[in-house]
Structures are given as C-alpha cells and as structure tokens.
Amino acid sequence: MRSLLDFLIRHSFVFLFILLETIALVLLFGFNDRQREAFLTSANSMSGSLFEWRTGVENFFSLRKENAILVEENTRLHNLLEEIADSQYVNTERSLSSERVIAARVIDNTVRRDDNYITINKGRRDGIDQGMGVYGPDGVVGVIMASGKRYSVVMSVLNGSTSISCKVKNSDSFGFLEWNGGDPYVAQIKDMPYHSAVGRGDTIVTTGFSSVFPENIPVGTVTDVERSKNGYTLRVKVNLSVDMSDLKWVYVHTETADEEIDELYKQTVR
C-alpha cells in the first residue's frame, strides 16, 4: 500500500500532464462555433490594445503609401459626386435609408489559415454589430462575425464559412462567393446558373440583395469558368480585387433601414 502511494506521489506529474492535456484538447476540439466565437471576441478585446499598438508602429512606416491611396480614393469619390450632381436624377429611396459607413483600422489579420479572421478597432460602442458588411478601397473584405465593446472580429472572405451574394457586373447572373482554402488571392463562385453570360475578364460585384453590402462593391475578376460536376451550374474562379494580405483601413456598411426585408427573409427561410 505504502509503496503504491509512494509510486503515485513520485509520478504525480503524469496525472498533471494528463489533466493539462485534457484541458488543452477540450479547448481545441470541444468548442462549438458559438464558444469559439466567444473565445475569439474576448481574446481579441484583451489583445486589441496590444495589436493596435503594433499596427500604429507599422503604419508609421507606410504613411506615404497610405496617403497616396487615400488621395486616389478621394479623387474617385469627387468624380462620383460630380457625376451625381450632373445627373439630375436623385434616388430618393436610397437617400432616405439610414445608410452609414464607418471607417475602421485593421489591427490584426491572417490570410494563411483555413479560416481567417480580421480584427478591427471599432466595436458596438461605434455602432457596429454582427452581420454587417466590410469592404476596403478595392473591394469586399468580409462580414462582421462578432463585436465587442471596442473591437470587432471580421469573418474574412478567406474563411470556409463566408458566403457573399455577388453577380456579374451589368448583368443579372448571380451566385455566392466562397473560398476553399489555399491561395489568398483566388475565390470561387458556386452555383451560378449554367445559362449565365459570364466569361474570363468579367468583373464581379456585390448584388445588394441583402442589406449586408451596398450594390456594386467590387469583388474581383473572373479568371476561369467551368461546368460543375452535376452539369447544371457553373464554377467560376475569381481573382479577388482586394489584396487581403495588405489591408490597413476598411469601411463597415451599417444599413438598418431594411429590417423589413431581414424579417421577411427570416420568416421564409424558416
């Protein structure tokens, strides 16, 4: 008996090892999506200030380039403004909706994992909530997955669970943008109807069907079209217009006027 006790005490670290490994593996595999989400949000609100500091230091060295990009975008917006002023047509419906864009800084970003997330420095305090669309100067970036008080986690386009409604520019053919891992510059559109008029070099933009993204935000360019295995739909390869590995600023689209659409959608889908 005594020798057994001795043995157990001398090897107590083995039990500790088993205990610690169990905790770690439960954290790793026992989490369902909701718990993982909670972990990511709380972890991000904790590490937010740290990453923000790092981004601040890093951004200092790219100010000149950032400036150039902003000037370019400013010019484009000015031109757009003039165009709108020139055309006497004013879309009243659109201007009535409570559409608002919030600029946010990217403070953490991954592109090489199977499921990538982005952390931005705006949260619930700034009016950001789950399900809002995020895009950069060059195009679509992702959708807000969870938001804490000061920071939010964005489910990047480069994530297995992301699906964004998009269409061929100036046409009615639409499908859903998805990403299957691998190359961070290339995504696919699945389930585009077989009769769709789509070819290499076509521009893909958002549909604006849901209120997540406004219409006509660039997504990418078509590089390849092939028939899917079932023969009824097309698989379209898209070169993303955003360089996801070099994101610094993004815009969050917060449109709330379409609650009725969301409500109807929820009712019909169920």
Partner 1 sequence: MDRSSFLHRLYLLIGLVLLQVLFLNRICLFGYVTPLYYIWMIVRFDSSMKRYATLLWAFFLGLAIDLFSGTPGLNAASATLLAMFQPGIVKLFVSMDRHDVVIPGSASMGGRQFMGYLLLLTVLHSTVYFMLRSIPLGDWTELILKVIFSTLLTWIFMLVTEYLVAGSARKR
Q: Min. distance of Cβ 170 from partner 1 in angstroms?
A: 35
- From the CB of 221, what's the least distance to partner 1, in Å? 22
Residue of 211, 206, 215 lying closest to 174 (CA atoms): 206
| 42 close to 153: Cβ distance less than 8 angstroms | no
Residue among 35 and 75 whose Cβ is closer to partner 1: 35
The residue behind tokens 């389930």 is: 191
CB of 106 to partner 1, least distance (A): 13
Q: How many CB atoms lie within 10 A of CB 142?
A: 26
Residue 157: closest CA among 196, 224, 204: 204
Structure letter (DSSP) for residue 84:
H
Residue 71 C-beta: closest distance to partner 1, Å: 28
Instruction: Closer to partner 1 by CB, 67 or 161: give it.
Output: 161
CA gap 236, 190 in Å, rounded:
7
| Strand spans (E) along the chain | 100-109, 115-120, 133-135, 140-147, 152-159, 164-168, 174-178, 186-193, 203-206, 218-227, 233-240, 249-254
Binding site for partner 1 (CB under 8 A): 12-13, 16-17, 20-21, 23-29, 31, 36, 39-40, 43-44, 46-47, 50-51, 54, 110, 112, 117
Q: Which is nearer to partner 1, 179 or 213 (CB)?
A: 179
Whose Cβ is closer to partner 1: residue 24's or residue 264's? 24
At closest approach, how far in Å is the CB of 55 from partner 1?
10
User: Which residues does residue 118 pair with via DSSP β-bridges, in sequence order?
Assistant: 109, 154
Nearer to partner 1, 26 or 80 (CB): 26
Residue 6 or 215 with smaller CB distance to partner 1: 6
Smallest distance, Å, CB 150 to partner 1? 17
